[in-house]
Structure 1
Amino acid sequence: MKNKLILSVLSGCAFIPVQAQVHTNFIVINLDDVGYGDFSYKGALGYRTPNIDKMAAEGMQFTHFLAAQPVSGASRAALLTGCYPNRIGFSGAPGPDSKTGIDAGEETIAEVLKKKNYATAVYGKWHLGHLEPFLPLQNGFDEYYGLPYSNDMWPYHPQNGIWFNFPDLPTIENNKIIGYNTDQSKFTTDYTDRTINFIRKNKDVPFFIYLAHSMPHVPLAVSGKFKGKSEQGLYGDVMMELDWSVGQVLQTLKDLNLEENTLVILTSDNGPWINYGNHAGSTGGLREAKGTTFEGGNRVPFIAYWKGKIEAGTVCNRMASNIDILPTLADISNAPLSQNKIDGVSLLPLMKGDMEMIPHQYFFYYYRVNDLEAVTDGTYKLIFPHKHRTYSLFPPGNDGKPGEVKEDFELKEPQLYDLRRDAGESYNIINEYPEIADRLEKAAMTTREDIGDNLTNMKGANRRPIGRVNK
């Protein structure tokens, strides 16, 4: 009688099926020192990158994507917080003697996504502070394995004892040092295997993986799977192995039927370190390279792959930056942003095909501690007088040895370039277009008042302090 009563009650109600919650997973692959011309679809010679080429062919590639600073630590701080790094007091590439790192008051991508119950992991290079308060597990990540800073900050640096005195390089798992001076030829495989295992373990819940490869930053190292496989020597071997890694990740998503609810992003922290010659990548013809705010230092590859959501083979020419990654993932996941001011904007409209969207009216090229060295509207770029690194005065080194660079080459007069016609920044047109230079100067003054500028002795009203420990 009881069962009949239940059936009778149910028969009078409309049946509403309960749908499983749909979520989007995120994988951000951040390569180290990869140049604008380093993939075969971009013209690289002597090796192929078929998996990355496939990502570009089946996803969206951005042609004008800028790292917030042309140096590793600051660029990574920008990617993970959505801020110009100098807004949060971050600059340069902190090393083993640093007492600073990302402040506890800042929110990383992992912390933002934790609000939506994401499982989070980072495998690879961290570089936001190596002391325990600054490590990933204290910044929203569930798992961490990798190097706390650059892989050349170790006793085997070719200039150790001359310019540097680096101690042993730790490998860290979660918060624990598990070894020193680890054979670097294993890292690309290790990072990849851990990424795949994390995907399999969390295939039924939302996840975010930050896969921050140590390569192809010098010293180059490659596993036996790819050693000697390219026509370009060790650099080509390393690029082939990184492409293999991307392929393994994409195949895992396909095997687990996760392609349609996983956004995969591929980019680089800054341009190539070209004074390392045959152990360095290609800027694709852009001026200068890593450590400079010319286009070769800031402009990097960016591919977004999201099967069924991003139209295959799309090319986006809008100016965007790695400060936009955090707000994009927050937008897609409907996760609330930090109460702190950030500088990035969501690129989701562009990914959906709204090519009329303009993410940024201006982009500001900061470097060193807080020097505003240039500003662009995406077409014209105004460069202010400043001292900068130049590679062009000296031949590069080879086989792991760096060539000379001049660190304080002085640019004495402002310069204006039309990046549409002159992405190599060769022809100064400031005398022909003074009104454009004036407009860009006014935009620069606004951000000087906001974030500051050491070159003009302006402190900025809205800078926040970097994290610091007294040890």
Structure 2
Amino acid sequence: MGWGDLGVFGHPAKETPFLDKMASEGALMTDFYAGNPLCSPSRAAFLTGRLPIRNGFYSSNAHARNAYTPQKIVGGISDSEILIPEILGKAGYKSKIIGKWHLGHQEQYLPLNHGFDEFFGSTNCHPGPFNDKSNPNIPVFRDSEMIGRYYEEFEINHETGESNMTQLFIEEGLKFIDEQHTAGNPFFLYWTPDATHLPLYASNAFLGQSQRGLYGDAVMELDSGVGRILDRLRDLEIANNTFVFFLSDNGAATYAKSNGGSVGPFLCGKETTYEGGMREPSIAWWPGKIKPGIVRQTMALSISF
């Protein structure tokens, strides 16, 4: 997603009411930057707190842990890297990743081997469909077990743009929150839906609802998911004890000539180190701790925790 995709950041369509409300109840971060303008190194930077040049996701060499990890890559996040869930686990937290991992797809690199207790989603993006011979479709995991593949058990219709994946990710998130609340566990939910990544998709209820085409439909559905998660925290009366942070892994893909995101007033987008590639729409929310309506113009970075 791009800096200019949210109504609160000035998008004229104003189709993100839940994120806009989240910003009004918390702190809007106007000068927040991703660790890298590309998926994998940005996620590695966020989860490790370390620059891509230090955590291993920096090279374009397809034989190494590189800046993008498609199926043919044999590497992934190093065992020597310490991720957020590994630190929180020592304090009794239960952690779950829902959605896109993108830090290695072989067994030793899967999330459960790097601090997460649960995983529902995929190790990669969702291009395809492929022929399942020379190039198989991307797998979907439940914890460490593959439970299906995109375009097969988990359908994405390229003709209509319809897929129920975001709804599955939302329900998984709500279920995890409920279970941890019932068990009395502190928790870390890393919710990383990927509907705004090409090829775009949205569920039937959101298709055709946006002024912005399929990309806008996907943004609206993600926005609704954030709203449902925040509502669940309120309903369980744990909102005042839960810190929520919204961000993107990189700027809008301005190379998408149609159905693409908005970088607002900034130059270029994803895969560039200009503002449009690294400056992200970001919101911090913690009722009772963060005063509502704050606009924070201080420069911040996704690795500076």
Structure 1 stretches of 4+ with a deviation exceeding 4 A read none
Q: Who is 2:180 aligned against?
A: 202
SS in 2 for 1:144: strand
SS in 2 for 1:221: coil
Distance in 2 of aligned mates of 1:46 and 1:301:
16
Q: Who is 1:133 aligned against?
A: 108
Counterpart mapping for 1:320-331 below 5 A: 320-324=300-304, 327=305
8 Å CA contact retained: 2:9, 2:281 = no
**Once the 2 structures are TM-superposed, how far is the Cα of residue 146 of structure 1 from its aligned partner?**
0.6
**Once the 2 structures are TM-superposed, how far is the Cα of residue 166 of structure 1 from its aligned partner?**
4.6
Distance in 1 of aligned mates of 2:53 and 2:222:
30
8 Å CA contact retained: 1:62, 1:316 = yes
Amino acid at match of 1:116: A
Distance in 2 of aligned mates of 1:155 and 1:224:
20
Structure with more relative contact order (C-alpha pairs < 8 Å, separation 6 or more): 2
Distance in 2 of aligned mates of 1:278 and 1:258:
41
- TM-score w.r.t. structure 2 length? 0.90
Counterpart mapping for 1:382-401 below 5 A: none
Q: Who is 1:100 aligned against?
A: 75
Residue of structure 2 aligned with 1:306, choices 267, 270, 286: 286
**Once the 2 structures are TM-superposed, how far is the Cα of residue 45 of structure 1 from its aligned partner?**
3.2
1:264-323 alpha-carbon deviations (Å, 9 max, x no partner) = 100000001112122210000211110011111111111000001001111111111110
8 Å CA contact retained: 1:187, 1:214 = no
Q: Who is 1:190 aligned against?
A: 168
Amino acid at match of 2:26: G
**Once the 2 structures are TM-superposed, how far is the Cα of residue 113 of structure 1 from its aligned partner?**
0.1
Q: Who is 1:66 aligned against?
A: 33
Q: Say whether 1:178 aligns with 2:147.
A: yes
1:176-213 alpha-carbon deviations (Å, 9 max, x no partner) = 11111222411111111011001110112200000011
Q: Who is 2:63 aligned against?
A: none
1:412-446 alpha-carbon deviations (Å, 9 max, x no partner) = xxxxxxxxxxxxxxxxxxxxxxxxxxxxxxxxxxx
SS in 2 for 1:208: strand
Counterpart mapping for 1:260-275 below 5 A: 260-275=240-255
Identity of aligned residues (%): 41
8 Å CA contact retained: 1:63, 1:302 = yes
Q: Who is 1:117 aligned against?
A: 92
1:98-131 alpha-carbon deviations (Å, 9 max, x no partner) = 1111111111100000010101100000001111
1:53-73 alpha-carbon deviations (Å, 9 max, x no partner) = 011111011111111110000
- Unaligned runs of at least 5 residues, structure 2: 59-66, 157-162
Q: Say whether 1:281 aligns with 2:261.
A: yes
Residue of structure 2 aligned with 1:87, choices 43, 50, 54: 54
8 Å CA contact retained: 1:47, 1:230 = no
Amino acid at match of 2:225: S
Q: Who is 1:317 aligned against?
A: 297
Q: Who is 1:292 aligned against?
A: 272
Q: Say whether 1:54 aligns with 2:32.
A: no
Q: Who is 1:419 aligned against?
A: none
SS in 1 for 2:277: helix
- Unaligned runs of at least 5 residues, structure 1: 1-33, 328-471
8 Å CA contact retained: 1:47, 1:232 = no
Distance in 1 of aligned mates of 2:140 and 2:237:
33
Distance in 1 of aligned mates of 2:259 and 2:122:
20
Amino acid at match of 2:292: A
Residues paired across the two proteins, number: 284
Q: Who is 2:61 aligned against?
A: none
Distance in 2 of aligned mates of 1:110 and 1:287:
34
Residue of structure 1 aligned with 2:137, choices 145, 158, 168: 168
**Once the 2 structures are TM-superposed, how far is the Cα of residue 155 of structure 1 from its aligned partner?**
3.7
8 Å CA contact retained: 1:47, 1:231 = no
**Once the 2 structures are TM-superposed, how far is the Cα of residue 46 of structure 1 from its aligned partner?**
3.3
SS in 2 for 1:172: strand
SS in 1 for 2:185: coil
CA RMSD in angstroms, aligned pairs only: 1.4
SS in 1 for 2:91: coil
Counterpart mapping for 1:411-450 below 5 A: none
SS in 2 for 1:309: coil
1:219-238 alpha-carbon deviations (Å, 9 max, x no partner) = 11110111111122211111
